Amino acid sequence: MLLEKTLRARQEKDKILLMTHIVLGYPSFNTNRQVISQMVDNGVDCIEMQIPFSEPMADGPVILKANQDSLALGTTVADCMAFGAEMSQKHDIPFLFMTYYNIIFKYGEERFFKDCQSAGIQGLIIPDLPPEMGEEFFRLATRYQIAPILIFTPTSTDARMAELNKSASGFIYCVARRGVTGKKSEFDDDFGSYLSRCRTATSLPLAVGFGIRNKDDIAAITGKADIAVIGSETIRLVDEHGAAAVGPFISGLR
């Protein structure tokens, strides 16, 4: 699919790509616009836009609060689709949606894929939908050429990784540790062994997220993974210092 080709084309020798995460509608769509411009202008290669959900089980307190506040402001899936279309037309990098399956189910699976395709969305991250429960979802992903991005964790067996890889496209999201987003991760020997298992299980690019906070973290996974994912840290930065702080932060990460 297009997403993998686009990411591989952006990956220079010995360079790790950078993917960032925002929660749509938090603190506002106007701030989202400013933050995305700051990210793109400072070299981000891919942006994961979260459609807010009331019970985001994989997310820590920073992203959980952002989801709840966005919903309280009235953010809808239709708003997110319109915003996604605006961003993909304005910026020449891949945009993904991340959300939870109940959002897609209520919206209507085929309608969701049609609207994602119209909006120029290249991939979907749905943490609570395993392939065994998403036959129609994965069929539609192929039909509409939108990459279903699946997740490896440190507790995934080699057999499970191989099974997930059969349904994955775009890249594999490798969770750096057990638990939810936002907490610090340690990149020790066990982590290195885990990433080696991930690399053996798939030929897709590997993205590492959960607890990536700074330049040192990114340096620790460069050469072992293809994409570093920064999530909670940029949301904290906007909360504390405003959208203008994002650009200098991003530019100093690699």
E runs forming strands in the chain:
17-23, 46-50, 95-98, 123-125, 147-152, 172-175, 206-209, 227-230
Nearest Cα residue to 237 out of 11, 66, 18, 97: 66
d(CA 49, CA 25) in angstroms, rounded, equals 10
Would you call 48 a catalytic residue per the annotation?
Answer: yes
Would you call 110 a catalytic residue per the annotation?
Answer: no
Nearest Cα residue to 63 out of 148, 131, 150, 125: 125
Q: Which of 4, 45, 59, 233 is catalytic?
A: 59
Task: Determine how β-strand 17-23 pairs with β-strand 172-175.
Answer: unpaired
Q: Which of 4, 48, 115, 217 is catalytic?
A: 48
Annotated catalytic residues are 48, 59
